[in-house]
Amino acid sequence: MKYYLSLFIFLMPAWVGAQGIKDTLAINDLIESWSLGLTEASDDAADIRIFNKYKSLFWTDALIEDDLNGSFAPSIYKDPEPYKTSPATVEVYAHDVALEFKNLKITVNGPIIYNYDNLSSDSVINVSIARTIYGEKYRQYVIKNIDSLVAHIVQYRMEQDNIEEVNAEKVSEAIRNLIKDRDNRTYNFQASNTLIVSITVRNNIARINSISLDPGTKVENAICLNDDDRDGVINEEDECPGQMGDFTAAGCLDSDLDGIADADDKCDFIYGVAGNSGCPPDYFLSNVNVTAWIGAHLNDAGLNMPSLDQLGYNEPDILQSAEGKLESPGLIFSPVFGADIAWYFGKKKKRAGIALGISYTGFSADYLVTEDAVYTFKANDGQDDYRRRVTLQEGSTETIDYKIINVPLLFRYRDMFSKKKTDKESFKWSWEFSIGPSYIAFNNTAKYNANIDIEGIYQVDTITQDAVTYYDYYNESSTWNILLTADAINQQDSVPGANAVFDLLNNSGYDFATGKNYSGEDGNADRSGFALNVMFDVAYKLDDKGKLALKFGAAGCMAPLSDQSSGYQLVNTTNDPYNPLYNSKAKSIYYSFGIHGGLVFNF
């Protein structure tokens, strides 16, 4: 035993020296061949002889820790080191580097250090080599498993930003097109690391068993020199350098992965189309719009005679009065001018909203009295009470010039006509329904031509038979009635007739007339109320972003004007000015409906 130990001690220096020579030769061969024949400034393919020499330096089961051949595979949102490497067999490593790289350059930094600890017949010699490696890798080999990459990007986008929907197929297509259209582009990788080359000696044959990164040194592997923001888009193609963005928007941030950068995307977190500024094609872009329009309406401004129980005469005798009839002109054409401002709710579809508007129209309407209106009431001639009767004669006319201002507050709902899916364009056509109340004001001028009788009926006391009295009940068949009316006077004697008799009575202090004409103009015929408005519009966008649109449609308005005729008097004395029927503010309904068109300005 002492003999063998002494022999080993004696022979060890020689054995180590011989082994060191072999190791040195292996390391030298490794350094000479680890470029695989790729040159530093050429697109030439790998040299097959050098390629094979490199592989011959390894045991068949050798593993190489790849410090350069990275693939873009971020593992987390905004991964600071998205280019990942992994160990590979010598066969895979050599094949991938030879196929995927060009302009490969490798330099050794500092001394090569050999470690001969634990020597045996199957010794492991660890050799420490510090090196810097640089190479240009073709794009299609940097972005390899597109489906997996897309699935991962989509997943963390949906988790991070709560995206409603992402079209993974379109995201995948965008990346594939990037590779297809520019497949000659390269990613420039550089790594500076200390490698541990493990050489195993088996049966006096030294070959490399593995190459790994020295855990005791700073690891700097797979640094992409031409992707400063590490988003997978190289600097020369990156439209947002310095910002970690997305493939779908040329390196700019695209939260919903729809291909429109967030800076230009009106719907940052909703998958949309380019033709609708990043929103789905059926989304509206504007929260506010202003519309100016003109139109043509048909107006029904029907008037009613004032109600007898609302008259302002003293103690009117309803039984001896008649409301009369007034013929309205029917539908009247008028131009309409209007504008409104609308605000739509929400940040997404923006379909519902409210609008405040104003419109103006004007027209003239002719009204004809077709049946006498008779107003009988209690009066006093200075000495006796009697029944005074004012009659608006059949054939009297009024022409009213209307100026109408309508201020509606409308609830609106809009939507697109087409729901067909599209990847590029927004829908051009949309519809909108509006309904709501409005304040409506009428400023009118009445032009009148009326004939009026102002007459009297006296009653003689049927008991004393010598005095004029006033009974609340008027007995038409009584022979004690004194009828100072045109019909009664003319029936008794047409010569000189009622006009002559009334003239004599007027000279005696009485105030009667027959067929007195009132003509002129009254500009104080104002009225206001509330209306119900309904509109249906169709809009066509003149540009993709919908800043300007044409709008046309139909509208209707109904204004039920309540009875406000209390206190109305047509005339009382013959010297009173004529009070137009419109001023009676009798219960009536104003209608209008028609078409309009205009321009919409969206903001």
What's residue 348's pLDDT? Answer: 84
Q: How much is the mean pLDDT over the chain?
A: 87
Report whether pLDDT(17) > 50.
no
What's residue 327's pLDDT? Answer: 96
Q: How many CB atoms lie within 10 A of CB 466?
A: 7
Is-contact 200 211, C-beta < 8 A?
no
Q: Say which range, 50-64, 200-214, 398-412, has the weakest mean pLDDT.
A: 200-214
Give residue-wise pLDDT tens across range 458-511: 999 888 888 899 999 999 888 899 999 999 999 888 788 889 999 999 988 899
Q: Select the more confidently predicted residue: 76 or 108.
A: 108
Taking alpha carbons only, the member of 348, 350, 338, 336 closest to residue 412 is 350
pTM of the model: 0.73
Give residue-wise pLDDT tens across range 57-68: 999 899 998 888
What's residue 557's pLDDT? Answer: 98
Is-contact 505 458, C-beta < 8 A?
no
Report whether pLDDT(421) > 80.
no
Span 2-264 CATH architecture:
Roll (3.10)
Report whether pLDDT(6) > 60.
no
In the chain, domain spans: 2-264, 288-602
What's residue 203's pLDDT? Answer: 79
Give residue-wise pLDDT tens across range 82-120: 998 889 999 999 999 999 998 999 999 989 998 875 544
What's residue 288's pLDDT? Answer: 95
Q: Select the more confidently predicted residue: 327 or 258.
A: 327
Give residue-wise pLDDT tens across range 440-468: 999 999 999 999 999 999 999 888 888 89
pLDDT band at 19 (very low <50, low <70, confident <90, very high): low
In Å, what is the CA distance from 30 to each residue of 103, 108, 122, 135, 172?
19, 12, 20, 18, 40
pLDDT band at 283 (very low <50, low <70, confident <90, very high): confident
Report the pLDDT averaged over residues 379-392.
95
Give the 3-state secondary structure percentages of the chain, helix then strand then coil, rounded to 5: 20, 40, 35
Taking alpha carbons only, the member of 76, 67, 105 closest to residue 230 is 76
pLDDT band at 342 (very low <50, low <70, confident <90, very high): very high
3-state secondary structure of 90: helix
Percent of the chain exceeding pLDDT 90 equals 56
pLDDT band at 181 (very low <50, low <70, confident <90, very high): low
Report the pLDDT averaged over residues 244-267.
89
